Amino acid sequence: MTARWEDVNARCRGLGTHLLGPVDFVAIEAAPEWRALPRLLQSRLGGAEPPATPRELDAALLRHYGTALAVVERWLGPRRRLLRVVWEDEERRTLRGLLRGAAEGASVERRLEGAVATLRLPGRLLLRLAGAHTTAEALALAAGAGLPLAAAAEGVKVGPGAAGLLELEAALSRAWATRAVAGAKGGGRRLRDWIAETIDAENLLALSVAGSWAGELEPGEAWLPGGRLLGEARFAQIAGAADDTARAALLRTAFKRGPIRAALDAAAGPADLERRILERRTTAAAVAARREPLGPWPTLWFLLRSRLEVQRLRRASWALAFGTGVTAAAMPEAA
């Protein structure tokens, strides 16, 4: 039996009225200096005092985003497994940052940059994970707390420093993709197609930076199962292309239409591609929500808009803090 979405869709429409609109972003992006931004966002973020530094604002934005995710997940109840792809993607990204921090011996504060608390990764667990001395210790803590992705990656060995870290991150991603596909059973063909597109997008992002992992991972380790347009053989072929130009041409052949192709055409390079994919898929979800208001699309549209909003606000904050356009290297790990 296909799931019903009317109740949570109605609630997400209500929550969506609190998201920022174009006029809000005009004011934010016209702020004369960083100190004006916390004041503009004060009513949204709450708290007695506005954040005093860019890092405090970054953490507040991510807390606000995590709270919205947790609210929607509670509303869904047993249906949350159908959208496991969303919740566990945030957990995957947060775990990745924490594990990188453990491998590098970074401070607790540094490891928590970009972390998003979820129902299974609450703030108190994040603090424990951020204090772990090694990646193995962090994974054991996460697995012991019942985090499925961590349990799937526990057997991966990580050497001194960052040696083996890519294999560990790949294992987390494979577990995420496999569980996303399994969780969507019973959600209808259109939802399964959307999740396949999500995995195709992740495979595309991996290929767009293939030069950074080609010497350490085999294509079969980097490839995620569950997509439709980039099977394992095609992924390996594109990963083995002679150079970035040849790889880009092959990717455009694989993605002939749809929001991901539109993102490919609009992106200024690999660093810009993930943002463009999110923007185009959010627009596509808005169209689907109007055409199929009884399906999962109003809820998915709200979730995508929420992620897009927090990323846009974080970029605006760091751009103002640095007094110029902020680079991906200067900004903490993306949400």
State how far the Cα of 299 lies from the Cα of 5, in Å rounded to an integer: 8
Domains identified in the chain, total number: 1
Structure tokens at 206: 């991996």
State how far the Cα of 135 lies from the Cα of 310, in Å rounded to an integer: 28
Q: Indicate whether 278 belongs to any domain.
A: yes
Higher pLDDT, 231 or 214: 231
pLDDT, residue 114, reads: 93
Q: Indicate whether 3 belongs to any domain.
A: no
Q: Indicate whether 241 belongs to any domain.
A: yes
**What CATH number is associated with residue 290?**
1.20.1690
What percent of the chain has a predicted confidence (pLDDT) above 70? 93
Confidence band for 160, pLDDT divided at 50, 70 and 90: low
Q: Indicate whether 214 belongs to any domain.
A: yes
Q: Indicate whether 84 belongs to any domain.
A: no
Q: Indicate whether 323 belongs to any domain.
A: no
Residues 254-275, mean pLDDT to the nearest whole number:
94
Taking 90 as the threshold, does the pLDDT of residue 325 lie above it? no
pLDDT, residue 182, reads: 96
Structure tokens at 329: 């290297």
pLDDT, residue 324, reads: 54
Mapped onto helix, strand or coil, the DSSP state of residue 164 is coil
Contact status, residue 282 vs residue 305, Cβ threshold 8 Å: yes
Taking 70 as the threshold, does the pLDDT of residue 162 lie above it? no
Confidence band for 186, pLDDT divided at 50, 70 and 90: confident
Contact status, residue 171 vs residue 96, Cβ threshold 8 Å: no
pLDDT, residue 244, reads: 85
Taking 50 as the threshold, does the pLDDT of residue 332 lie above it? no
Higher pLDDT, 88 or 334: 88
Residues 124-135, mean pLDDT to the nearest whole number:
94
Q: What is the 3-state secondary structure (H, E, C) of 257-309?
A: CHHHHHHHHHCCCHHHHHHHHHHHHHHHHHHHHHHCCCCCHHHHHHHHHHHHH
Q: Indicate whether 38 belongs to any domain.
A: no
Taking 90 as the threshold, does the pLDDT of residue 242 lie above it? no
Confidence band for 328, pLDDT divided at 50, 70 and 90: very low
Q: Is the alpha carbon torsion for 9, 84, 59, 213 positive or negative?
A: negative
Mapped onto helix, strand or coil, the DSSP state of residue 21 is coil
Residues 34-41, mean pLDDT to the nearest whole number:
91
pLDDT, residue 161, reads: 54
Residue 254 lies in domain: 189-295
pLDDT, residue 156, reads: 75
Confidence band for 1, pLDDT divided at 50, 70 and 90: low
Structure tokens at 289: 């929500």
Q: Indicate whether 266 belongs to any domain.
A: yes
pLDDT, residue 330, reads: 42
